[in-house]
Amino acid sequence: MMHALDEHRPAWNKRPMSNDAFRSKYGPYALIAGAAVGLGAEYSRQIAARGLRLVMIDRDPGPLAATADAIRKQHGVEVRTLDIDLARPDVGERVLADTAGLEIGLVVYNAAIGTVAPFLETTPQLDDAAIDVNCRGPLRLVHAFAPAMVARGRGGVILMSSMSGNFGSTQLAVYAATKAFTLVFGDALWSELTPLGVDVLVVQPGSTRTPGWLSSQPSEPGGEIMPAADPAEVVREALATLGVEPRVIPGDANRQGAELLAQLPRRQAVEMMSQITAKLVRNDRPRIGR
Ligand SMILES: NC(=O)c1ccc[n+]([C@@H]2O[C@H](COP(=O)([O-])OP(=O)(O)OC[C@H]3O[C@@H](n4cnc5c(N)ncnc54)[C@H](OP(=O)(O)O)[C@@H]3O)[C@@H](O)[C@H]2O)c1
């Protein structure tokens, strides 16, 4: 008998893709933007494990080089690194120029500015940075690389949204709004590019244990750290869903939570999101600018 949740389980459970098929569809190079640590580093590792060559972009050259070296050693694939600030207005042209001659078959846009603070405590500079990195960055990189994928009739794009992209929440006004942008942008890309052979996936993780997420948690000894998903699990679900669905919320509990929220009147859903944010983030330790 089918459990109620099974109906909503993403189709990736039913149709695993072999590494050879993944490489033919999305290789030979994958480009990961925001790749030095956390989910971006995990995407890089799992994509390299499938045999693709990598171009890893980040603004932290030290951690970027260390992650790239470890991947070369472990997976024996070619890994190039680009030290680029994804907030640059010319990010599309710049990355295209720096990857000239490489066949990029998969773009993963992972980087984000995740300021967690009351709206009146953020600054115009932080708000602009979030819009530059979270909205303009993916838009420009998709503009830069999707035309060649369409010309080849194959390829993939993965965009990182968040469960906060579904409803606004206290302390997340700008971040959540940029993640709603990603969600709707990704829906439209999925609709336009899938018939042309290019798969598009928007990923909406819940709390995931990365350096960015940990920076919003208590640092003092004995401080309670909230439960959070393993980045490896999130990326595994994302890669298994690419080419199957337009969107994935990794983790059964997160999927159930999103379904419950979607059934509430908007006012109640926003209040509940705000309560969840207050629990997940220490009010006395707002995370400004990450
Ligand atoms: N972790 C979670 O709980 C969670 C939940 C929902 C959604 N997400 C989404 O998942 C993605 C990954 O988030 P994360 O917090 O987990 O981050 P992460 O994977 O730990 O790291 C993101 C990487 O991107 C880099 N980056 C940020 N801004 C950049 C810029 N302007 N130019 C170049 N590189 C830049 C970061 O460098 P710096 O270290 O210098 O900033 C960092 O190395 C984000 O899109 C986020 O919104 C995460």
**Domain-embedded: residue 30:** yes
In this predicted structure, the answer to whether residue 206 has a pLDDT above a threshold of 60 is yes
Between strands 104-109 and 29-33, the pairing is parallel
**Domain-embedded: residue 9:** no
Which three-class secondary structure string do you get for the chain? CCCHHHHHCCHHHCCCCCHHHHHHHHCCEEEEECCCCHHHHHHHHHHHHCCCEEEEEECCHHHHHHHHHHHHHHHCCCEEEEECCCCCCCHHHHHHHHCCCCCEEEEEECCCCCCECCHHHCCHHHHHHHHHHHHHHHHHHHHHHHHHHHHHCCEEEEEECCHHHCCCCCCCHHHHHHHHHHHHHHHHHHHHHHHHCEEEEEECCCCECCHHHHCCCCCCCCCCCCCCECHHHHHHHHHHHCCCCCEECCCHHHHHHHHHHHHCCHHHHHHHHHHHHHHHCCCCCCECCC
What percent of the chain is modeled with pLDDT above 70? 89
Which of 160, 161, 280 has the most ligand 1 atoms within 8 A of CB, as the residue to mutate?
Answer: 160
What percent of the chain is modeled with pLDDT above 90? 81
CA of 164, closest atom in ligand 1 = 6
Greater confidence, 215 or 134? 134
**Domain-embedded: residue 268:** yes
- What does the alpha-carbon distance between residue 264 and residue 260 come to, in Å, rounded to a whole number? 7
In this predicted structure, the answer to whether residue 9 has a pLDDT above a threshold of 70 is no
Question: Which residue's CA is the closest to the ligand 1 atom numbered 15?
Answer: 212
**Domain-embedded: residue 290:** no
pLDDT digits (tens, 9 = 90+) for 132-168: 999 999 999 999 999 999 999 999 999 999 999 999 9
In this predicted structure, the answer to whether residue 6 has a pLDDT above a threshold of 80 is no
**Domain-embedded: residue 214:** yes
Residue type, 75: H
CB of 81 closer than 6 angstroms to any ligand 1 atom:
no
**Residue 215 binned pLDDT confidence (cut-offs 50, 70, 90):** confident
pLDDT digits (tens, 9 = 90+) for 80-102: 999 999 999 999 999 999 999 99
In this predicted structure, the answer to whether residue 17 has a pLDDT above a threshold of 80 is yes
pLDDT digits (tens, 9 = 90+) for 24-66: 999 999 999 999 999 999 999 999 999 999 999 999 999 999 9
**Domain-embedded: residue 204:** yes
CB of 276 closer than 6 angstroms to any ligand 1 atom:
no
- Spacing, Cα 2 to ligand 1 middle (Å): 37
CA of 36, closest atom in ligand 1 = 43
Please answer whether residues 182 and 165 qualify as being in contact, where contact means their C-beta atoms are separated by less than 8 angstroms. Answer: yes
- Spacing, Cα 42 to ligand 1 middle (Å): 12
**Is the bond into 28 cis (omega within 30 degrees of 0)?**
yes
**Domain-embedded: residue 106:** yes
- Spacing, Cα 176 to ligand 1 middle (Å): 14
**Domain-embedded: residue 194:** yes
Query: What CATH number does the domain containing 93 carry?
Result: 3.40.50.720
In this predicted structure, the answer to whether residue 225 has a pLDDT above a threshold of 50 is yes
CB of 172 closer than 6 angstroms to any ligand 1 atom:
no
CB of 40 closer than 6 angstroms to any ligand 1 atom:
yes
Greater confidence, 261 or 222? 261
Number of domains in the chain: 1
The domain of 198 spans: 19-280
- Spacing, Cα 35 to ligand 1 middle (Å): 8
- Residue 246 is predicted with a pLDDT of 98
